[in-house]
Structure 1
Amino acid sequence: MVVLVLVVLCFPPWWTLFASGTDWPLPVLLAGTVVCAAWLVSFPFLMFAGHGPRQSDRAARVADTSLGVVWVLFTWSVLGGLANLVLGGLDVGGTDRARAVAAAVAAVSAGLLGWGHHEAMRVPRVKRLDVHLPRLGHGLDGTRVVVLADTHYGPIDRAAWSARVTEAVNALDADIVVHAGDIADGTPGRRREQSAPLGAVRSRLAKVYVTGNHEYGSGAQGWLDRMAELGWEPLHNRHVVVERGGDALVVAGVDDVTAESSGLAGHRADLSDALAGADPDRPVLLVAHQPKYVPRAAAAGIDLQVSGHTHGGQIWPFNLLVRIDQPVVHGLSRHGERTWLYTSRGTGFWGPPFRVFAPSEITLLTLRPGTAPAATPGTAPGTAPAAG
């Protein structure tokens, strides 16, 4: 299956760029074929070396970057091949058509990879929106919740990036800061320097963290302990209560939905435990890594669930595949009679250091009591226009 998937990914770029009537000189065809074959042979070994027991960061960087390059080439080669067929059916372009399509695919892919790398490595823009919660007390009106998710500290050392993200968060003057999981790929010891700036994050009322699915391959309990060491409140199926202006908000968190299958004792997504002892009349902000947890949140009458996990697809058109597994890819959505779900595109990236048509974000949610005003055309109910 692995070989089949790799062949499927590699064949369209090879065919579109080198073999589909382009009539390149033989050395060009041979060079392209050798590059594709070398990737097919080396990629599984690089992935195993980078993400297997050895966890070689150098091998992981090469494997992850090459996977992103091949995915972009695959996407645009398929589109280029379809364009070639349409133009051929219309008898447009003549004998140079295949070369023109190949050149266009190469140019578009190179441009998107360069731009996508910049998008992945920059400090995310701030996305701002209001969320109206009917049960929210007026004393909590204007509560500022900053959401981080999917920082994925990993093979590329982003300690300096992490420090700049912390500065951006602190500039937002948050009441509550949330990290919605997938903090890193690697153990707390391996990613200690990259995670250290999180200790400088400031908030008035609470800083909370839940595990994501990637923690369950990187020492989940260690990350809960590490975040506590950095001054965060790990919401390991538990809650805290924050108060402002005489009103209270329950901030609860559950382990990732993959926790139970990890075999780690005491880890599972348990909303009943998370809400044990909480006043049922108080509004609840739930942090759950994956949007797919929202049916359980809606059944329990949660007011707002905050999630990450999807990365907004990260590299288009992967968002279409994400949508098969998750109810929402990004943004604010309504579920049931009461529950809002906000799904972040994520603050960092996983694997390939590219973001194409799926920008990263630091999210500022401003909580408002009551129902949202009528939406203006082009604006989702309960939201305010995003600011960069």
Structure 2
Amino acid sequence: MDDQSAETLGQESAAPPAEPAAREGSGARRRWIGGLVVLTVLGLLFVLPWWVLLASGTGWPSPVVVSGSVLFGAALVAFPVVMALGHGRRQLDWAARTADTVLGVIWVLFAWSVIGGVLRLALSAAGAGGRGTARGVAVGVAVIAVVLLVWGYGEAMRLPRVRRVEVTLPRLGPGLDGTRVVVLADTHYGPIDRARWSARVAEAVNALDPDIVCHAGDIADGTIDRRREQVAPLGTVRARLARAYVTGNHEYFGEAQGWLDHMASLGWESLHNRHLVVERGGDRLVLAGVDDRTAASSGLAGHRADVHAALAGATPDLPVLLVAHQPKQVAQAVTAGVDLQVSGHTHGGQIWPFNYLVRLDQPVVQGLSRHSDRTQLYTSRGAGYWGPPFRIFAPSEISLLILRSPVTPPV
């Protein structure tokens, strides 16, 4: 072997150890970039409201500016700490409540500060700038934010309204005309104890006299042991034909298989990529369910969204009602010839104007929509809330879908 060949071989032998180092360096850069993005977003969320309310030519007395600045600064520093304590490894409920509330407050202040800033620019262009305008905008933003936050908290904590929608399924037999399907989604039992709210929701569902009840995922945030009391009222829900549950993305932050098993212990059918057939008046309906679309990346064996596995063995000419957590899963439903998919996940945006950001990720934010000649999708705004305990211009709902057949049933 000559010297050049030996040198080349040496370089090739040294290459593999360098690859993990390169990957580690690339991962570190991504973490730094991710951290920088988070810090930038946090800075914008906190600094813009501070600027509009206190520092943009308002001319407030020094004690007002100083105390307000201290409050904003303390919130900015404390927020990532309580967020990590509440939603990180320690899962402290008090910290999660604090972080979630701060996040909701600052989001509302930020959104309306943007609107206030645009208004000030318009007024200045019209020759109506100055201290009076700055103070008027600041006071207006503060008052609107307080009113919306108080109202939004009440909306988040109230019993969801019943939203009734009739859905015609061309393949539905006349014996199933008028089938009452109640959709629950996104109950998100979490750090604020809502056991009594949960019991009232179960009573409201039973009062609707359902044939089928579907829970479309995101049942809780936290372990089964910590949320057991809040979930327990779901065991009292009644349905003549079936009660079905599928996982949402939040189940895959923890005990997804555990939640499937727990709901089965409460008497629900855990539709883990499978189906059952219900019958009424001599006609049949396939009720199928799939895992959330994030299941495959969770690392749990056997967990993935597989509509074809869910429908394996089903009679092809029967109508299909599919329960899938995310609206974007409708693409697979279309290819499988599903008649109606019911979903949640979006919360209707939960806090305006977040609905516009949700629309970038999902094909639908709420309501009934059509996605092919056969396939329709109903997206619930959800019964609960995630994170910030507020709902602003996105009311919660218990969905009552009345299935209609194009064929008039015999009298």
Q: What does residue range 270-289 of structure 1 map to in structure 2 within 5 Å?
A: 270-289=306-325
| 2: CA distance, partners of 1:85 / 1:361 | 38
Q: What does residue range 26-45 of structure 1 map to in structure 2 within 5 Å?
A: 26-45=62-81
Which digits, 9 at most, give the CA deviation of each residue in 1:77-134, with x for residues without a partner? 1101111111111123653111111000000000000000000000000000100000
29-38 vs 159-168, greater mean Cα deviation: 29-38
| 2: CA distance, partners of 1:4 / 1:41 | 13
Aligned with 2:279 (options 212, 222, 243): 243
Q: Where does residue 375 of structure 1 map in the other structure? A: none
Partner secondary structure for residue 191 of structure 1: helix
Matched, 1:215 2:279: no
Partner secondary structure for residue 113 of structure 2: helix
Report deviation, 1:26.
1.1
Q: What does residue range 78-117 of structure 1 map to in structure 2 within 5 Å?
A: 78-92=114-128, 94-117=130-153
Unaligned runs of 5+ in 1: 372-388
Report deviation, 1:276.
0.9
Partner secondary structure for residue 199 of structure 2: helix
Matched, 1:155 2:191: yes
User: TM-score normalized by structure 1?
Assistant: 0.95
Matched, 1:74 2:110: yes
Aligned with 1:127 (options 145, 163, 184): 163
Letter in 2 for 1:13: P
Letter in 1 for 2:148: L
Q: Where does residue 64 of structure 1 map in the other structure? A: 100
Partner secondary structure for residue 320 of structure 1: helix
| 2: CA distance, partners of 1:334 / 1:272 | 21
Q: What does residue range 165-204 of structure 1 map to in structure 2 within 5 Å?
A: 165-204=201-240
Q: Where does residue 384 of structure 1 map in the other structure? A: none
Report deviation, 1:218.
2.4
Q: Where does residue 380 of structure 1 map in the other structure? A: none
Unaligned runs of 5+ in 2: 1-36
Q: Where does residue 4 of structure 2 map in the other structure? A: none
Partner secondary structure for residue 60 of structure 2: coil
Q: Where does residue 374 of structure 1 map in the other structure? A: none
Q: Hey, which of these two has a bigger chunk of helix by percent? A: 2
Letter in 1 for 2:246: V
Partner secondary structure for residue 193 of structure 1: helix
| 2: CA distance, partners of 1:364 / 1:271 | 24
Matched, 1:228 2:255: no
356-365 vs 25-34, greater mean Cα deviation: 25-34
Matched, 1:266 2:299: no
Partner secondary structure for residue 88 of structure 1: helix
Partner secondary structure for residue 231 of structure 2: helix
| 2: CA distance, partners of 1:152 / 1:341 | 22
| 1: CA distance, partners of 2:177 / 2:258 | 36
Q: RMSD over aligned Cα, in angstroms?
A: 1.1
Q: Where does residue 55 of structure 1 map in the other structure? A: 91
Aligned with 2:172 (options 123, 136, 151): 136
Q: What does residue range 342-361 of structure 1 map to in structure 2 within 5 Å?
A: 342-361=378-397
| 2: CA distance, partners of 1:141 / 1:157 | 39
Give the share of equivalent positions with the same residue, in percent: 71
Q: Where does residue 200 of structure 2 map in the other structure? A: 164
Q: Where does residue 386 of structure 1 map in the other structure? A: none
227-236 vs 93-102, greater mean Cα deviation: 93-102
Which digits, 9 at most, give the CA deviation of each residue in 1:198-229, with x for residues without a partner? 00000000000000000001200110011011
Equivalent residues of 2:59, 2:131 under 8 A apart = no
Matched, 1:46 2:70: no
| 1: CA distance, partners of 2:372 / 2:176 | 23
| 2: CA distance, partners of 1:95 / 1:333 | 49
Equivalent residues of 2:160, 2:397 under 8 A apart = yes
Aligned with 2:362 (options 322, 326, 334): 326
Q: Where does residue 10 of structure 2 map in the other structure? A: none
Aligned with 1:313 (options 333, 340, 349): 349
Aligned with 2:289 (options 253, 268, 272): 253
Letter in 1 for 2:268: W
| 2: CA distance, partners of 1:107 / 1:218 | 39
| 2: CA distance, partners of 1:292 / 1:195 | 27
Report deviation, 1:336.
1.2
